[in-house]
Amino acid sequence: MKHLTRMTAVASLALLAASAQAQGPGGGGFQPSPQMMAKFQAWQKWRDSHKNVVALQQTLGGLQEMEQDPRTRLNKTQARTVLAVIGKWRSRPVMSDAQARQVDQQITAPLTTAQIKKIVTASAGRRGGFGGGRPGGGGPGGGGPGGGFGGGRPGGGGPGGGRPGGFNPAAFPDPRDYNPLNPNSLPFERMRPRAAQRLAELTTELKQAK
């Protein structure tokens, strides 16, 4: 539980920092319009009430980082546990914050201390969950939701989509619940292909665990 609490704190701090960067420097630079700011603030409020979803997305991002390091790669038993959780949730359209907490616990339960530390470190560095990117203001990594299996920036859905001139406030989705383990449920449609690719890569790696 201490590990999960620490991961949640790291994820929350990263999201707040990313949102601040999205608003641009105080002395100039990119200044969001009132409509854009309203969207950002709405997503920030959603994230504040869905901290377990954010933590789960950071865990998912950390899993891929773990697979790239022989010292923290999951063994066959651990991989089976994670694959079972993914398989159970893969097609569900929505995951509540309470459910995300349970799923995160199920995924991290068989992990070692070294593996947990790897996830925390990866979460702090990526700031956007599985796929990278800047959540909240430059977000998959997760755009407004704050991480997950996607990539790119909110608004455009891909790199550069959130920059001035490329952001369409009308196309920026309102906050809603989704399932971090189901890319097709992501509010930002352009992130879905990237998210699906990342999920497929992770499951392939886990199936090859020894």
Rounded CA gap, 73 and 67, in Å?
Answer: 5
Report yes or no on 169 lying in a domain.
yes
Report yes or no on 9 lying in a domain.
no
- pLDDT, average across residues 146-168: 46
Q: Which pLDDT value is given to residue 141?
A: 34
Report yes or no on 26 lying in a domain.
no
Confidence band for 28, pLDDT divided at 50, 70 and 90: low
Report yes or no on 67 lying in a domain.
yes
pLDDT, one tens digit per residue, over 185-194 is 999 999 999 9
Domain containing 42 equals: 34-207
Report yes or no on 4 lying in a domain.
no
| Of the candidate ranges 38-42, 79-83, 100-104, 178-182, the one whose mean pLDDT is the lowest | 38-42
Report yes or no on 12 lying in a domain.
no
Q: What is the DSSP string of 105-138?
A: HHHHTT--HHHHHHHHHHHHHHSSSTT--BTTTB
Report yes or no on 184 lying in a domain.
yes
Report yes or no on 27 lying in a domain.
no
Is the pLDDT assigned to residue 16 strictly greater than 50? no
Residue with tokens 């920092």: 17
Quick check: pTM over 0.75?
no
Is the pLDDT assigned to residue 210 strictly greater than 50? yes
Q: Which pLDDT value is given to residue 164?
A: 47
Confidence band for 138, pLDDT divided at 50, 70 and 90: very low
Q: How many domains are contained in the chain?
A: 1
| Of the candidate ranges 92-101, 105-114, 120-129, 171-180, the one whose mean pLDDT is the lowest | 120-129
